Structure formats: structure tokens, C-alpha cells
Amino acid sequence: MNDTPRANRLHIGLFGKRNAGKSSLINALTHQDTALVSDIPGTTTDPVFKAMEIHGLGPCVFIDTAGFDDEGELGELRIRQTQRALEKTDIALMVCTDERLDEELHWQRLLKEKNVPVIWILNKCDLLSDAEQTMRRIEQQCGQVPLLVSTLTGKGLDDILRSLRNKLPDETMAQGIVGRLVEENDTVMLVMPQDIQAPKGRLILPQVQTIRELLDRKCLVMSCTTDKIDAMLAALARPPKLIITDSQVFRTVYDKKPAESRLTSFSVLFAQYKGDIDYYMKGANAIAQLTPESRVLIAEACTHAPLAEDIGRVKIPNMLRKRIGEGLQIDIVSGTDFPEDLASYDLIIHCGACMFNRKYVLNRIGQARTQQVPMTNYGVTIAYLAGILDKIDY
């Protein structure tokens, strides 16, 4: 269960009023005391993320959110956190206990705007004397027959899992990180410079995940650092089918690679795996329109102290200013910090987002697209600046 990072798991969010039984429902579905349960409304404050392995669903994350009818100044902060959880939700469970649905219907509209499928649940049905009538009144309002559920008796739990399986998103992630670039027995060469971001004894997460997928696909995987490219190519009986490199050495690898070998980078692969690669490729063209008076936003998923060789905070800004001019304004955000108003930016450059799930990244892309702000990612940007964007594969 712990082998799959949270970012690669199906995110199932539970939404509803305080004391609707969301936490009890998670405990029942996971067969664990995952979430704190109390009769006191407002027990759940910040969203609680619980990673699980569910038969028929695979690795997933249940998100237990605060009630969206919370009150007071603290309640507003809790509701704001629930809104952030919405951004990461692949499938939503809308939990209610009666037909008073003003709040629920509002949140259903928010979820619909994010293209999140919603499963309605009439919880605590064992306490209702007219559950069937209540169910019909809910259907009239939300347009969906709610599932009758009781965590006390276990009624409806299998129905929830069945409905979740029916709504599994058909996404690019099903193709995996390397997509259709490789087949069984293909030789794949990985170029992985070891620097301050991957100190001795460590590989960064995208490298680890890519290696594992290539091994699962029965590829022949060879790895080297940048200074050993020539030796690696000389040791191979034939050129590798695919070369995957760290984006920082894109140009170096391109100049050394055999003509028949395809080339990409870990960051570019994650651009198609977690985001919208076509939008990123188009967005890179905005670099040509930047001037010293332009403003660029760099967004990275990781939250860490700035490093001397940091790709997002140091290297890409230096590359851009060398091309555009020192006056170029560059803002940097990390983690879940991301401005709501993007209109003042001429370009957004996002990291590979190995720490985010695909839904969250697509919501950011949707935000940029709605505000007509071009967006690209680290690897695509570096390939563009190196003059080889049209020579890479994804």
C-alpha cells in the first residue's frame, strides 16, 4: 500500500455539512479508525488525507473535509481548506442526511465546474422513518438517485465502492509516465546528473518512478551521469530506443545522442503524465514575446529551502534573464500557494508536479487557460531555450 506515492493515487473527497457522518463513512469504507468521529459538529478541521488500497479501485486517497456549513471566523478558514481539497478531488462523495440541500447543491455546482463526478449519499438512513421518500426528494433536486447508506448497519457501503469503480477517470495516467514511447525489450538510457537536488545516496522522485515503470514494462534500463554519456553509448551493442535525461542537460545529451535514438526528459514526461502537454508546448512559444518589462510566475510543487543550484529558483530564472534581460520580473511560489488572479503574468512555468495529483495540476492549467495566460513547464522551457523543442518526444 505504501509503494504508491499519494500524487499517483485516486483522490476521493467527502463533502457535506457538519455531522453528516463523513468521518464515520471513511472509517467504514477503509475498515479502520482513520478519521476522528464525534457527535460534536465541526470535529474535522483541516482536511485529512488517508491513503488506502481498495479492491477494484487500487491505490487511493480519501479526503475527509470540514463541514461546508461551518460558522465564525475559524469556520471560514476551514471552509477555505475544504475548497482547496476540492481542487485535488477526482471523485466526490456528497454526503447528506436530509433533503435540505442548499449548501450541497452549491458545492455540486463547484464540483461540476471542475469536471469532478459526484456520487450522492443519503447517510444515516437507519435513523430515517421515510428514507425512500427522502431519497426521491433529493433526486428531484440534484438529478441523481442518492445511495442509501448506514455506517452502523453497513447498508450501502458496497454500493459506494461499485459507484466509485464506475466513475474511475479515464485519464492519460492510465498510459503511464512513458506513454507509448517504449515497448517490451526496448533499451532505454537514463542520464541523471547528481547535484545538490539529488545528494549522495538519493535519486529524485521522478527518476525513481520512471525507472520502476520501465522495469514493469520489461525494458532494458541503463543509467549514467552526464560525464559518462559517451562511455555508456560505446558500451551498448546498438543505440538505445529512447534516452530520458534531466532537463538541465538537454542540449548536451542532444548533441551526443545517436540520430536514431528518441529523446525526452523526466520533466517533459511528467508534463504529459500530470498536465496538458499540448498547452505546455504552445505556452513555451510565449517566451519569444517576453520583454524586460514582462512578468513570469514560476510554480513548484515542492516546499523546500532555496538551494544554490535550484532549477526553479535559480537556473531557469538565470536562463530567462540571459535571453530576455535582467529587468524580467520573476515571482516564485511553492507547494499549494498559487495566485487566484494570474492576469498580471505573461507566462507561468510549472515544475513536473511529481508531488501533485493530475486533477490538481489540471485545475491550475484550467485557471490559467480561463484567464488567457500561457503556461508551460520546466522541461519544455529548457528545451525551448536550448533550441531543441521540436526534437523531443513525449
Q: Contact, 88 vs 7, CB < 8 A?
A: no
Distance of CA 362 to the CA centre of its chain: 7
Q: What is the pLDDT of residue 282?
A: 97
3-state secondary structure 277-306: HHHHHHHHHHHHHCCCCCEEEEEECCCCCC
- As a whole number of angstroms, the distance between CA 23 and CA 151 comes to 10
Q: Contact, 393 vs 263, CB < 8 A?
A: yes
| pLDDT confidence bin for 43, thresholds 50/70/90 | low
Q: In sequence order, what DSSP letters do the residues of 140-186 get, joined into one string?
A: HHHSSPPEE--TTT-TTHHHHHHHHHHT----GGGG-SSTTS--TT-
Q: What is the pLDDT of residue 354?
A: 86
- As a whole number of angstroms, the distance between CA 318 and CA 323 comes to 9
Query: Does the structure show a pLDDT above 80 at 52?
Result: yes
Query: Does the structure show a pLDDT above 60 at 359?
Result: yes
Q: What is the pLDDT of residue 175?
A: 77
Of 282, 344, 346, nearest in space to 320 by CA: 346
Query: Does the structure show a pLDDT above 90 at 363?
Result: yes
Domains, the chain, ordered by start: 6-169 (3.40.50.300), 175-268 (3.40.50.11420)
Query: Does the structure show a pLDDT above 60 at 143?
Result: yes
| pLDDT confidence bin for 308, thresholds 50/70/90 | low
Element (H, E) at 254: helix 250-256
- Whole-number mean pLDDT of the chain? 90
Q: How far is CA 84 from CA 150, 182, 332, 346, in A?
A: 28, 36, 20, 25
Q: In sequence order, what DSSP letters do the residues of 24-65 get, joined into one string?
A: HHHHHHHTS--S---SSTT---S-EEEEEEETTTEEEEEEE-
Residues 245-276 have pLDDT tens digits of 999 999 999 999 999 999 999 999 999 999 99
- As a whole number of angstroms, the distance between CA 244 and CA 265 comes to 5
Of 144, 141, 149, nearest in space to 100 by CA: 141
Q: What is the pLDDT of residue 307?
A: 56
| Mean pLDDT across 365-385 | 97
Which residue's C-alpha cell is 517490451?
184
- As a whole number of angstroms, the distance between CA 170 and CA 326 comes to 44
| Mean pLDDT across 342-357 | 94
| Mean pLDDT across 303-314 | 71
% residues pLDDT > 70 (the chain): 91
Residues 230-250 have pLDDT tens digits of 999 999 999 999 999 999 999
Q: What is the pLDDT of residue 74?
A: 85
Q: Any residues with CB less than 8 A from the CB of 391 and at least 6 apart, and which?
A: 254, 263, 383
Residues 183-220 have pLDDT tens digits of 999 999 999 987 655 556 678 889 999 999 999 999 99
Classify 344 in phi/psi space as left (phi over 0), alpha (psi -120 to 50) or beta: alpha
Q: What is the pLDDT of residue 195?
A: 60
| pLDDT confidence bin for 1, thresholds 50/70/90 | very low
Residues 73-118 have pLDDT tens digits of 888 888 989 999 999 999 999 999 999 999 999 999 999 999 999 9
